[in-house]
Amino acid sequence: MNIEILKRQKNAGEAMMFEEFDLDFRPKSYWGPQSLASYFGSHITGELRRKAAKNEAASGSDLAVPTEPTLDSTTRSIQGSIHPWLMGGEYLPPLRPDEVEIARVTLRSVTMDVFSIRARRSGERIYYRLVDEYKEQEPPRRFVVKPRWAKNPLSMRQVISIIDANGLIDDYKDLNFDGTNAEDIFDFATASSEFYPELAAHFDHQNRKWLEELIRQSPDDDTE
């Protein structure tokens, strides 16, 4: 294990120990006026395409990437033949009517697999579900989603709970840890959201705490 790299990561992790997050934060609505960049971020399924569209919209430059929520099978195949990461998120199921993505977890796997937490408005209720790129949760229900419906948007604490209950961050990080590659995989799984501004930072903090614990357990290479 590269101790010098881990020590630098440890210092960064210690600096973040004092960062506080508003776990009770909840957006007023998932629907309504939003920037074009935010719209792309919550509607485009492909991870790299989504990021590119957000950056282009935020900078005011001409849109050079397809901005439709999902791509047709031919275009997806062409992209995958260029680089497997270009498939990341592109095989998520399409959004349902009046549905929006409220958060996602992205893995640095070969094909950049993505998990998507979604909210769908129906009458006075908001229905929530978690989907991946391989098989929808219903039927049977593959993922733990609580609550499955509510009258209001979820708090950040509840979104974190959905992610943690399904092991979307820690399980995949632990699965790829071979005992020596902590600095390479501590951020193997990351979260993002257009509606919860602190969600990404929260899990970045958790990932660094995981790394810090490994540093604490590692022998000091200055010791004879």
Summarize pLDDT for 153-186 with one digit per residue, the tens. Answer: 999 999 999 999 999 999 999 999 998 899 999 9
Under 8 Å between Cβ of 134 and 115: no
Number of domains in the chain: 1
Helix (H) or strand (E) holding 127: strand 125-131
Structural domain includes residue 151: yes
Omega within 30 of 0 (cis) for the link into 139: yes
Taking the C-alpha atoms of residue 35 and residue 57, their distance in angstroms, rounded to an integer, is: 9
Mean pLDDT estimate for the chain: 88
Structural domain includes residue 72: no
Structural domain includes residue 75: no
Question: What would the mean pLDDT of 3-19 be, rounded to a whole number?
Answer: 47
From residue 172, alpha-carbon distances to 42, 62, 101, 145, 185 in Å are 23, 37, 21, 19, 9
Range of the domain at 18: 3-32+85-217
Token reading at 144: 């733990």
For residue 7, count other CB atoms closer than 10 A to its CB. Answer: 14
Of the pLDDT bands very low, low, confident and very high (cuts 50, 70, 90), residue 136 is low
Structural domain includes residue 184: yes
Omega within 30 of 0 (cis) for the link into 69: no
Structural domain includes residue 150: yes
Which amino acid belongs to residue 119? A
